[in-house]
Structure 1
Amino acid sequence: MGKTFGFEVNRTSTATAATLFRLETDGGRWSDWAKPVIVQSSWEREAAPVGGVGAIRRVGLWPLLMREETIEYEQDRRHVYAFAGPPAPVKDYRAEVFFTPRDDGGTDLRWTGSFTESLPGTGSVQLAVLKTAIRVISARLVATAERNS
């Protein structure tokens, strides 16, 4: 059985939690703001509200489009998703994105993730790739949200 790994990426934004949440949960529009990591994005299965429980977004670059299913959804506060089958570079991936309003009107963004390595000894490389991707994506999310606020 493989080892379990986790990461956490934190950002502060002047944008509202609602603006950040709307962008992050709308998986069909990720390619509008998350390049160069996410070149293509679409919905495999939609849900109401947009990005709600049961929604599956496809993100990445064909032929390696990750399928991510929303498993928990708290409007403007928290979004939880997991990989929804192949192709998945890791096992049991689960990510949580927290949007915490600040007293100054901005938002603290915390993006955490955990997974089990798919092949023994590969977890540290997979962790580096996933954490780097989330660092870039979260920076693009904040920049886009601040431009749209």
Structure 2
Amino acid sequence: MGVQRIDVTATTTAPPGAVYALLRDGASWPGWSPIGSFELESPGQDGGESLGAVRVFRTGRVASRERLVELVPDRRLSYVLLSGLAIEDYRADIDLAEGPDGTTIRWRSSFRAKVPGFGGLYRRTLTKFIQQCAGGLAEHAAVAAG
């Protein structure tokens, strides 16, 4: 089964620090994304939502368990999916780059479908979902940053 890749971007007038703060705060995600709820299942090595933390996001009947695997303040947040979807080897890297028009949010993911032949369907569905997340994040960060 081949690796599926997703790469979406959004731009906000908010500075990278404001965008990063929202990404790190799982409780904020239901406010700017299609996600319904958030729960911190287990804290990271430095407590709270630090490296290694397991966060659970619920959307409808789906509960996605994710572990934070890379945190670069104001630059990058990366996570891997532990359970919740019929995919494996899922990793997302959310990179923030400051430019003349504000901050560019680049949300890249890769994964393999557990069921042969379903990779394209999962990629299309997740691309739409992630685009909604990136767009909502950009809008919310701009309003929050004033």
Mark yes or no: TM-score above 0.5.
Answer: yes
Task: Choose which of 63, 72, 75 in structure 2 pairs with 1:77.
Answer: 75
Aligned equivalents of 1:23, 1:89: Cα separation in 2? 27
The residue that corresponds to 2:9 in the other structure is 10
Any stretches of 5+ residues in structure 2 without a counterpart?
none
Aligned equivalents of 1:50, 1:11: Cα separation in 2? 27
The 5-angstrom pairing of residues 1-149 of structure 1 reads 2-34=1-33, 37-47=34-44, 48=46, 51-61=49-59, 63-84=61-82, 86-103=83-100, 106-149=102-145
Amino acid at match of 2:95: F
Aligned equivalents of 2:76, 2:108: Cα separation in 1? 11
* Alignment check: 8 A CA contact 2:78 2:94 kept: yes
Aligned equivalents of 1:29, 1:13: Cα separation in 2? 17
* Alignment check: 8 A CA contact 2:23 2:29 kept: yes
Secondary structure, counterpart of 2:50 in structure 1: coil
Amino acid at match of 1:98: D
Secondary structure, counterpart of 2:109 in structure 1: strand
1:21-66 Cα shifts (integer Å, max 9, x gaps): 11112113311222xx201112112234753211111112354110
Q: TM-score, structure 1 length as denominator?
A: 0.90
Identity of aligned residues (%): 27
Aligned equivalents of 1:52, 1:129: Cα separation in 2? 29
Question: What's the Cα RMSD here?
Answer: 1.5
Any stretches of 5+ residues in structure 1 without a counterpart?
none
* Alignment check: 8 A CA contact 1:41 1:59 kept: yes
Aligned equivalents of 2:134, 2:48: Cα separation in 1? 19
